Amino acid sequence: MSAAPGAVPAELAERALAWQADDPDPRTAAELGSLLEAARSGEEGALDELADAFSGPLQFGTAGLRGAMGPGPFRMNLAVVSRAARGLADHLIGRLGGAGTDEAPLVVIGHDARHNSRAFAEASAAIMTAAGLRVRLSDRQCPTPLVAFATRHLEADAGVVVTASHNPPADNGYKVYLGGRASEVDGRGVQIVPPADAEIAARIAAVGAVRDIPRAASGWGELGEDVREAYLDAICALPLPDAPRDVRIVHTSMHGVGHETAMAAFSRVGFTEVHPVAKQADPDPDFPTVSFPNPEEPGAIDLALELARTVEADVVIANDPDADRCAAAAFDPHLGDWRMLRGDELGVLLGAHLIAAHDYRGVFANSVVSSRWLSRIAEAAGREAATTLTGFKWIARTPGIVFGYEEAIGYCVLPDVVRDKDGLSTALVVAEMAAMAKAEGRTLIGMLDALARQGGLYATEQLSVRVEDLALLGEMMTRLRRRPPTALGGSEVGEVRDLAEGSVETTGLPPTDGMLLATADDARVIVRPSGTEPKLKCYLEVIEAVEPDADDAALGAARAAAARHLAAIVEDVREALGVS
């Protein structure tokens, strides 16, 4: 800031005071007052924090809202949520009409166990009811897939989940689905995409003073046990009734809201030997045993692996805090220890299993940054494969989809039930796969080995470049576009594709900011700015030939070769981007 030390620019102070006066939550109003006073007194960091809280409105996009909780327009708080609720209500009424009648738009609302989630959900119900919508609010905390299910099951016109998924404890979010009359057929119960996000954002921007937003004291219905039972019935119908159930499972819900539903589903299907990680089973918004509540993060499943070794488990299954993602770990005989499966590895295992065991017929879809392995498995089995833009808002809209996944441990195994990633139905399929593998004297790692013998070993890696200045992302992308590398990992780059210049006709994808590089030896690199973090993300994939009769030593050699190949490409990509 350009002001003298201890001074708060007049415009910033005026905006803060106006926000404080309009804040419906006395706690954040008081917090803002304290922050403003700290900035005025010159307390270190206070002015920067105040300026950041008012650096702009928290943008409503294709994932709805997500950010740190606190006062101000660039934070998650009751004022921001109230505007979002009224804006979404105005959008639905503008499109569908019927406010205050039996034909009014129907909205289902759920929430996780994070700080303020219940309050944000209740406020949304009160505001939407006052606007003339029909509302069903979850009677208690619930997994995100339950709301995605309810949006389709109840033919609701929209679904809202107050959740920040696997973000840090200080965050919260507001995820929106459209359905019923408010969406096209392939988008019912799917996260919003353009132009709906911009249309809703415009409605939110048009909302006046927060304190003037009408709120009903009652009048909404309950999203309760009937919907939970219907969801459980739907996902528990997936595992084959005559398939093996003899498998020892360790499960963690990562301090989130998935434990109760996961345990009920495992029991109902017949997986009786399930060992939950006790310290992570109950919902806790502070996530005390993990530094970052994402199963992919280093250390996040250490307690689960420790329990797996103790009970001699066959598989570890982990859900993220809102249970829309699923991860798995297994004992790897090549390493002599347990390891987490990569998102792509679990994706191809699930796809291959649904083809071989369940005879799934239809389209198998994954995002462009995910492995090509699934498409080649699907096509070899006579199924159709599709590649989409990154994110389940695109994957789930694939016409004819029967299975979809993204490398960030998101899987959709029942698109007619939940048209989004669903970590709970996926957990049942992982358990089924592990039980069938055990009955055959194999493991999930052995199933991957078998797939490698059929079509080669696909190995992936990621390189993330975090920046402080967002302008650096554009500079790195410009550098790559102007001077793409001529070779990667010792192989000539034979294809350079600017995904921003593509079209559905030429690339099969709508334009998106990214670069694709492919080499003569079938390695591939995709570089794109992250949509949620100040990062440039690079997705690498190599393929190593494997003979159909390869033994463990040959497979180990192929893995080592793939690791060396990926490491060499990482260094070449760093050089091309100009980063050390």
Name the residues annotated as catalytic.
165
**What are residue 529's DSSP bridge partners?**
536
Sole residue written with tokens 């990926």: 566
d(CA 171, CA 154): 29
What is d(CA 363, CA 385) in angstroms, rounded to the nearest whole number? Answer: 5
Q: Where are the alpha helices (DSSP H) in 457-538?
A: 471-482, 504-507
Distance CA(296)–CA(326), nearest Å, equals 10
What token pair was written down for 468? 């402080």
> 3-class DSSP state for residue 331?
strand
Is beta strand 326-332 parallel, antiparallel or unpaired with respect to 337-340? antiparallel
Answer yes or no: are the C-beta atoms of 490 and 519 closer than 8 Å: no
Distance, CA of 455 to CA of 546 (rounded, Å): 7
In contact, 461 and 302? CB cutoff 8 Å: no
Rounded CA-CA distance 410/347 in Å is: 8
Q: Please give the Cα distance from 225 to 425 (Å, whole number).
A: 18
Dihedral sign from CA coordinates of 293, 296, 300, 306: positive
C-alpha to C-alpha distance for 408 and 338, rounded to whole angstroms: 20
What gap in Å lies between CA 136 and CA 121, rounded to an integer? 11
Q: Which structure tokens are listed for 52? A: 């950041």
Strands 363-367 and 384-388: parallel
Angle 26-40/10-22 helices, nearest 10 degrees? 160
Q: Could you give the angle at the alpha carbon of 388 between the alpha carbons of 386 and 389, nearest 5°?
A: 170
SS (H, E, C) 128-152: HHHCCCEEEEECCCCCHHHHHHHHH
Strand partners, 412: 404
- The rounded distance, in Å, linking the Cα atoms of 137 and 158 is 12
CA distance 541 to 561: 13
